[in-house]
Homo-oligomer: A and B are copies of this chain.
Amino acid sequence: MRMGKQTVKLEAAPTISNTAATVGKKEGEGPLAEDFDVILDDDYYGEKSWEKAESKLQEQTAKLVLQKAGLSESDMNYVLAGDLLNQCVGAHYAMRELDIPFLGLYGACSTMAESMMIGSMLIGGGLADNALCVTSSHYCSAEKQYRYPLEYGGQRAPSAQWTVTGSGAAVLEAQGEGPYIHAVTTGKIIDMGISDVNNMGAAMAPAAADTLTALFKDTKTMPEDYDLILTGDLALIGSDVLCELMDKNGYNIYPMHADCGKMIFNIKEQDVHAGGSGCGCCGSVFCGHIFKEIKKGNIKRMILMATGALMNPMTLFQGETIPAIAHALVITTEKEAFF
């Protein structure tokens, strides 16, 4: 059922039946280490390039979540995946190894939310019984593609974020014991004129505020209805901007807002400047830590919202600013929606 302009309420709410998360060495030294399924001791993951390592991250994490869920590839209706690499090759070379109909997405760092949003709509609309949602990012392949070769040893700006090496995978099913996806809010592309690639949090925060405001209005809910409003990778600066923008819109989200980019590292000790970023940041934190917290009963009602910056290095060289997007999901442990 459509609610307002941007939100769909899923009357038959799909279940997130299982998740898996793999991260790199540095992420495995952070505060959430215990909640990841696999921590690499070598960021090449035994491969000859960072790009091949990133594909392997997605492939192995996807296979792991199927194993945890007791499902085989032939049981799955769809896999929805994407990543930051040019032409999404992280996903393509990974999903080549899986015998599952494939829907390729590009949402930059919003991909975990985009894949779960489309997957849950397909299930909620009766078009699929299940869907596998996967994404990844890799610090080394991202630095090489977006910024400088690692060997160059470029100085990082204090506002810069650290791309997470990691992958998250989630299985959505029509039937199950929850947590349930009750509503999804699809973002519009928002560009407030920021062109500083070293301050992606600030570029993405207005898109997050736009989508979150739409979600509250469409569902007629308020921040205090949720235990947690989790963003994907706004990190230190973007999180502050989001909370301020929401405050101006009349929503106080300070008490229940958290951000995967702030959670995955010990920010000061691990020298990651503004915090974590990348598709794998939201992917691994939600599919690792948060899913376990929901299962333990520590989170009952939450919003998962991931943001993406939709430029590429060349468009910035050509004088463009950074368009951004945010997609959000309402996830609760209750079978019936509370709104």
Contact of A87 among B52, B104, B122, B311 (CB under 8 A): B311
**In the bound complex, CA of A102 to CA of B107 (Å):** 10
Residues of A in contact (CB 8 Å), total: 59
**In the bound complex, CA of A131 to CA of B312 (Å):** 26
Does the CB pair A320–B103 fall under 8 Å? no
So how many copies of this chain end up in the complex? 2
Q: Is A29 in the interface zone, CB < 8 Å from B? A: no
Q: Is A337 in the interface zone, CB < 8 Å from B? A: no
Nearest chain B CB to A310 CB, angstrom units: 4
Beyond A310-B87, A312-B87, A318-B51, is A106–B104 a contact (Cβ under 8 Å)? yes
Q: Mark A287-325, 1 if CB is under 8 A from B, else 0.
A: 000000000000000000000101110110010100101
Does the CB pair B105–A105 fall under 8 Å? yes
**In the bound complex, CA of A92 to CA of B114 (Å):** 15
Closest to A117 in B: B103
Q: Is A176 in the interface zone, CB < 8 Å from B? A: no
Closest to A8 in B: B127
Does the CB pair B101–A6 fall under 8 Å? yes
Contact of A315 among B2, B51, B106, B320 (CB under 8 A): B51
Q: Is A168 in the interface zone, CB < 8 Å from B? A: no
Q: Is A223 in the interface zone, CB < 8 Å from B? A: no
Q: Mark A111-139, 1 if CB is under 8 A from B, else 0.
A: 00010001001101111110000000000
Q: Is A162 in the interface zone, CB < 8 Å from B? A: no
Closest to A319 in B: B48
Q: Mark A47-90, 1 if CB is under 8 A from B, else 0.
A: 01101100000000000000000000010011000101111110
Chain B neighbourhood of A98, CB < 8 A: 189
Point out residues on A near B: beta carbons under 8 Å. 2, 5-6, 8, 48-49, 51-52, 74, 77-78, 82, 84-89, 92-93, 95-96, 98-108, 114, 118, 121-122, 124-129, 186-191, 308, 310-312, 314-315, 318, 320, 323, 325
Q: Can you pick out 5 interface pairs between chain A and chain B where the beta carbons lie within 8 Å of each other?
A: A2-B77, A51-B314, A87-B312, A104-B310, A121-B127
